[in-house]
Structures are given as C-alpha cells and as structure tokens.
Amino acid sequence: MSNLPDDYKPPDPYNLPTGPLDTSTSSYGFSHTMIRIKDPHVSLDFYTRILGMTLVRIMPMAAGKFTNYFLCYPQSEVPDTDNHDGLMQWLWQQQGILELCHNWGTELPSSGFEGYKSGNEPEHKGFGHICVFVDDLHKACDRFTKLGVQFKKRPEDGQMKHIAFILDPDRYWIEIIQKSAGDKEHAIP
C-alpha cells in the first residue's frame, strides 16, 4: 500500500525543531479548531452530554448560511451571554475551544448530503483527531459504552493500551486519554 522507496528513513524526531526559538511568541496560545457538522442537534448533544463540554457562544451568519457553535471546558467562570464584550474577551483567552460549523440545510434528508470526510479515510488523509483527557480512561469508556458511543479503538485493542478513540456523530475521531498519562510511548526524553 505504501509507495515509499525501500531505503526510506523518516526524519530523526530528536533532531527536529522543538521551539519556541523566538521569544516574541511567548504569549501565543492555541485558541480553537473548527470542524464541520451535519446536524447541530445531534452534534451539540454529543459534545455537551457525552463529552461534558459547555456551549459558550452561538454565532449565526445569515449571509453565509451557516452557524458556528463554540464549545470548551471553561478554565474560569463563563461570563453572562448578555455581556457580549465581556464574553468575547473571555472566550478568546480560553485555550482548546472547539468550533462546530453547521452549513444550513445539511441535516435535511432532502439535501442529499452524505456527510463530511473525517480526514482518516485512505483517500482523504489529512485531519486526524481531537483529544480529550479524562480522570479515569476505563470508567470513561464504560460510560461511553453505556451511552451507545461508537468506538474506533478501545483501550484493550492494539498495542497502545493507554488510549481510546471514539467517533462523534460526523465520524470525526476523538482520542481519549487519562489525565497525566499522556503518550507514554512517544514522550520526548
């Protein structure tokens, strides 16, 4: 399946940049990732009820015929939504926000829309997954099972016993790791 030359050697991961080298980036932070969703009712239920995220902003864009939903695990108290300026200041200081973009009408059966590509299909490799950490991986997986969540990989599957992958309603992969466990097999010494 691979078209790599027989003598191919990947770059040495220990000789790649680890940054940051430029101190002018010391105040940078990871803000958000946007993924497209087919049905906001189904996706918002999944991310709020199943994964426990908080919906902190809804941004309908009538001109573009889409709505963006911003979710996160708040790192401080969420300001009142009536205080738009305060909410915006707070929101853009949070890290790890998930923006769900719903293009209007994709949820309608009459649209014929079959869904988005997750980025993990062989012919569409690209985007891989988002990751959520939990206090206890096995308890979380038991809960997901009881809630009918579809798994791509359970902790007991394969060689990497410290992670699981679940699928959201649009079949995006979500890695589940235990807090403080991290990627034991790929940590940089």
The whole-angstrom separation of Cα 11 and Cα 74 is 37
Annotated binding site for Zn(2+): 99, 129, 175
Query: Is 175 in the active site?
Result: yes
Exactly one of 123, 156, 175, 185 is catalytic; which is it? 175
Nearest in space to 47 (alpha carbons), one of 149, 181, 146 = 149
Of residues 127, 67, 54, 149, the one with CA closest to residue 100: 67
What would the 3-class secondary structure string for 103-171 be? Answer: ECCCCCHHHCCCCCCCCCCHHHCCCCEEEEEECCHHHHHHHHHHCCCCEEECCCCCCCCCEEEEECCCC
Q: Which residues are catalytic?
A: 175
